[in-house]
Amino acid sequence: MNTFSTLCAAAVLSLSFAAAANPALKQHAEYAAIDQQMQTMMQAFEQGDAAKAHRVILQDTVVVGYSKKQQKVVNVSGAEWSKGFQVSPDEAERHRQYQILDITDTGAVVKVMLDYPQWLGVDYLAMTKVDGQWRVVSKSWSGTMKPAK
């Protein structure tokens, strides 16, 4: 089984497990609003659209992850993160999906799985309702480089 097939199988199992563990999650009153914001986020990734990303992330959103290349924890703002929203020449080969893991009336956690030609990663997004809109207030990321083909 290739990497993408393995990732898809794992994602399906993960989604099935999450649904079995908490079948009421999709029934939460805020589920549709969070899902809509995440669809906007996925479009921002696909289109390389920083302005669209800022409909979901804040300028002062906290983004943190460990950079193996830099050998340290990297911490940037939402404004810095959004600079990376650019159209990628290999966009057709990039695959993303998300799973809403938990929701309360004012907070949510979303897992974003990223399968790029040279990168396999996971983002955990903490969302909070700000002025009536669900916004990403923090992102924790991790991932590994894929071996060259």
pLDDT, tens only, 93-103: 999 999 999 99
pLDDT of amino acid 21: 54
Q: How far apart are CA 142 and CA 112, in angstroms?
A: 11
Taken as a whole, the chain contains a residue count of 149
pTM attached to this predicted model: 0.83
- Mean pLDDT over all residues of the chain? 87
Percent over 90 (pLDDT), the chain? 79
- Does pLDDT of 47 surpass 50? yes
Closest CA to 61 of 136, 127, 132, 123: 136
- Does pLDDT of 34 surpass 70? yes
Q: How far apart are CA 36 and CA 38, in angstroms?
A: 5
